[in-house]
Amino acid sequence: MRIEVVDPGGHAIGLAIGLVELGHDVFYRGAERRAPAAGEIAQMRRELIGRFFGAQGDDAGERDLLVLVDTFADYINALENGYCFGGKAPIRHPLQDDAGVLIYPHRLGYLLERASAHERVVVVDTSDLHAPREVAFEMQPHVQLFAREAGVGERWRPFPYLYNTAMLWLEYVCERSMWLTPSRDRRPCWDWVFCGTIDHSRYGGARLAALEEVAAQWPQADGLVRAGVSFSAVVGTLQRARSGLDLPGAGELCFRLHECLALGVPVWRPFGRRLPLPDALRSVVVRESRELPDATAEQVREVYRQHYAPAAAAGYLLTKAYFQTSPATNIAMAAST
């Protein structure tokens, strides 16, 4: 199947890779830039795009499916509350990356025009925020709506998959022996480890409060908190823990899930969550520390490979979107996959 993924924020590289792994012909359209973005993560993103999608020009071509991905709720919230931060460059293209929040009306118009020209369209909101939703997409009946922070029974259906670019780069570009320690060589030093940003203005103190609650409710658990360290240090530290502690930040879903499972580390999510995860993760993602499995890294990674890795996310999205189409279309699409 021929699929175009429009992803100016760079949040759907994992999803697009998964579509390629399922055998689809994927045209990936990222942000429009006057010059290559600087920084290590930007370089990792370029390497992943080059490896899976090659040097692609501006040819839209004929597509069987159009996937539009952006942080719609975050943009709307910023504009409604006057948080017009970001770049101040003149607007040259609706997908450019240096015009800040004020690009949104131009980008939305462009995406809506693209959506109206395609028969089958999927929109994925990767915002940290649960709302507000972009109602302009809701007014187009042929568009399938998904969101990272959506719960069960909502109009925007859950898409509980989030990938750290640095972790994807390790998985797909580097030799596994460079970053993955086999179970036989692991010596757990802590019951749990949390690696990530502890406090941020968008978190409202939520993570600090959650860490205090963990210490109070589970004083017997030996834990470690590491913030402000390199990703290589994160990778090494997580593989020396019995579990990775997963805490909500601005949203409920964070990079911890991807990082831990890809490294073969069970995940401890001690607080009730509204967002659903794939049922099959219940064997390696638990709420109570006493439920943590005595599983090898290889066993955890196998659950990840089948149920949370990029190909699993791609399969989930296509299945959920396709079953909303006509029976004849379902048959044709199933045959193409």
User: Residue 170 — left, alpha, or beta (φ > 0 → left; ψ -120 to 50 → alpha)?
Assistant: alpha
pLDDT at 337: 34
Helix axes 297-307, 310-322, angle to 10 degrees: 30
Euclidean distance between CA atoms 313 and 304, whole angstroms: 11
Tens of pLDDT, residue by residue over 42-64, are 999 999 999 999 755 555 578 89
CATH level 3 topology of 176-307: Rossmann fold (3.40.50)
178 burial type by CB count under 10 A (0-12 exposed, 13-18 middle, 19+ buried): exposed
Euclidean distance between CA atoms 260 and 267, whole angstroms: 7
pLDDT at 60: 56
Euclidean distance between CA atoms 298 and 64, whole angstroms: 37
First to last CA, the chain: 7
10-residue stretch averages of pLDDT, the chain, 337 residues long? 95 97 95 82 94 69 92 95 73 88 94 95 96 96 96 94 98 97 95 92 86 94 93 96 93 95 97 89 93 95 98 96 49 35
CB 251 within 8 A of CB 263: no
Euclidean distance between CA atoms 325 and 30, whole angstroms: 27
CB 264 within 8 A of CB 301: yes
Euclidean distance between CA atoms 44 and 41, whole angstroms: 5
pLDDT at 158: 96
DSSP letter (8 states) at residue 240:
T
pLDDT at 58: 53
* 154 phi/psi in degrees, rounded to 5: -90, 165
Tens of pLDDT, residue by residue over 60-83, are 578 899 999 999 999 999 999 887
Which stretches within the chain are classed as H helix?
13-21, 40-52, 72-80, 104-116, 135-138, 165-173, 206-217, 231-238, 256-262, 297-307, 310-322, 327-336
Euclidean distance between CA atoms 242 and 220, whole angstroms: 14
CB 146 within 8 A of CB 155: no
pLDDT at 56: 57
Query: What does the domain layout of the chain look like in residue ranges?
Result: 2-161+310-336, 176-307
Euclidean distance between CA atoms 20 and 148, whole angstroms: 21
Euclidean distance between CA atoms 262 and 17, whole angstroms: 15
- Element housing 158 (H / E): strand 157-158
* CA atoms lying within 13 Å on the CB side of residue 229: 14
CB 79 within 8 A of CB 16: no
pLDDT at 257: 96
pLDDT at 334: 36
Largest CA distance in the chain: 59
Beta-sheet pairing, 267-268 with 2-6: unpaired
pLDDT at 37: 77
User: Residue 235 — left, alpha, or beta (φ > 0 → left; ψ -120 to 50 → alpha)?
Assistant: alpha
Q: What is the dihedral of CA 175, 313, 4, 7, to 10 degrees?
A: -80
Euclidean distance between CA atoms 103 and 296, whole angstroms: 47
